[in-house]
Structure 1
C-alpha cells in the first residue's frame, strides 16, 4: 500500500499546476485504491500546506459526495449494496445530522456509509450537497492541519481523542432522545 501512496505523492509533486487537479481527482477515486480519507487529507497538508491542502480536500471530498450520490441513484444495484451494508452495520438505526458530522471526523468510519445516512435525511440533491459539504469541512481541516500530530500522538492521547468523539456522539444521541421520547430510534 505504501508503494501506491508514494507513487501518488511523486505524481502530484511533479505535475506542477496540474498537481491540485490530480489531488482533487485522487479524492474522487480514493475508494477504489482503498485509501482512507485521513491519509489523503494528511498528504494534502504535506504537499500543499494547510490552507491549500484544506481547500483541495474540501473540493475533492465534496465532489466525491456528489459523484457517490449520482452513482447510487443511477445504479439501483449499487444503491442496494450500500443499503445492505448500512443495514448490516447499523441495522435500522437513525442518526441526526450532528451525529453524522461527528462520525465523519472519526478516522476509520466509512464516508460513503455516512453519505447514505445523509441521503436518507435529505429531501433533494441540493439539500444533500449542503449537508455533505458542511460535513467535509471538519475532517478536511482537522486531518490536514493536525494530520502529522494525530499520526505521531502517543496511543493514550489517541484513545482520549477517540473517547471524546464517542462522548460527543452519545451526548447528541441522549439529547435527541430527550427531545423525541416517543421515538425508540433517534433521528
Structure 2
C-alpha cells in the first residue's frame, strides 16, 4: 500500500500538467477500453483529491459526452442498438428529465451511454445536450470522487479486507449473469 501511495505522490508532483490531461483523455477513451466510469471517478479522488478530481472528472465526462453525441449522429447502427437497449430497460416511449438521469447515473450498474442516449433523444441541439450532460454528471462525479478520496484515509488492513470481501460478490453476480444468459439462449 505504501508503494502505491508513493507512486500516486510521484505522479502528482512530477507530472503536474500531464497527469490531468491523461486523466481527462482516459474519460474520453474509457468506453473503448470498457472501463466503468465509476472506477475513473474513484481514481480521480485517489490521485488528485476531491475538488480537482471532481473538476477533472466533469471535464472528462463532458468531452466523452460530446464524442458520444458525434458518434451517435454518424453511426445509425449504434443508435439502433441503443434504442433496443432503451426499450428493454425503460420502455420504448420513455422520456426522462436531466435530474432523473443524474439520479440514475449514481447507480453504477446502469449503462452510462444508455443514459447519455436518453439525453440525446430529448435534446433539440448540441448545446442543450452538453448542458444536460454536464448537469447530470455532477452528482455522480461528487459522490464517487469523494469515495475515492476517502479510500486514501483507510488503513491498509481495511482496504485489503474490502477487496477480499468484494471478490466473492464478483463471482456470485457473475454466476447469476451467466444463468440469465443461458436462459435467454434457450428461449
State the TM-score, normalizing by the size of structure 2: 0.69
Whole-angstrom distance in 2 between the partners of 1:97 and 1:20? 27
Other-structure match for 2:75: 75
Q: Please state whether the residue corresponding to 1:105 is helix, strand or coil.
A: coil
In structure 1, what is the equivalent of residue 133 of structure 2? 132
TM-score with structure 1 setting the length: 0.69
CA contact (8 A) 2:106 2:140 kept: yes
User: In structure 2, what is the equivalent of residue 57 of structure 1?
Assistant: 57
How far apart, in 1, do the equivalents of 2:150 and 2:21 lie?
26
Give the structure 1 partner of residue 121 of structure 2.
Answer: 120
Off by >6 Å, runs of 4+ in structure 1 = none
Long gaps (5+) in structure 2: 152-158, 167-187
Q: Which has the larger radius of gyration?
A: 2
The C-alpha deviation readout for 1:125-182, integer Å capped at 9, x for no partner, is 1111111001111111111012365996x99xxxxxxxxxxxxxxxxxxxxxxxxxxx
Equivalent residue runs for 1:1-187 within 5 Å: 13=11, 16=15, 17-92=17-92, 93-147=94-148
Q: CA RMSD in A?
A: 2.6
> Unmatched 5+ residue regions in structure 1?
1-5, 156-187
Q: In structure 2, what is the equivalent of residue 171 of structure 1?
A: none
Q: Is the 8 A contact 1:57 1:140 kept in 2?
A: yes
- Once the two structures are superposed, residues 89-108 of structure 1 have per-residue CA deviations (whole angstroms, 9 ceiling, x without a partner) of 22213323221111011122
Q: Tell me, yes or no, if the aligned pair for 2:44 and 2:148 is still in contact at 8 Å.
A: no
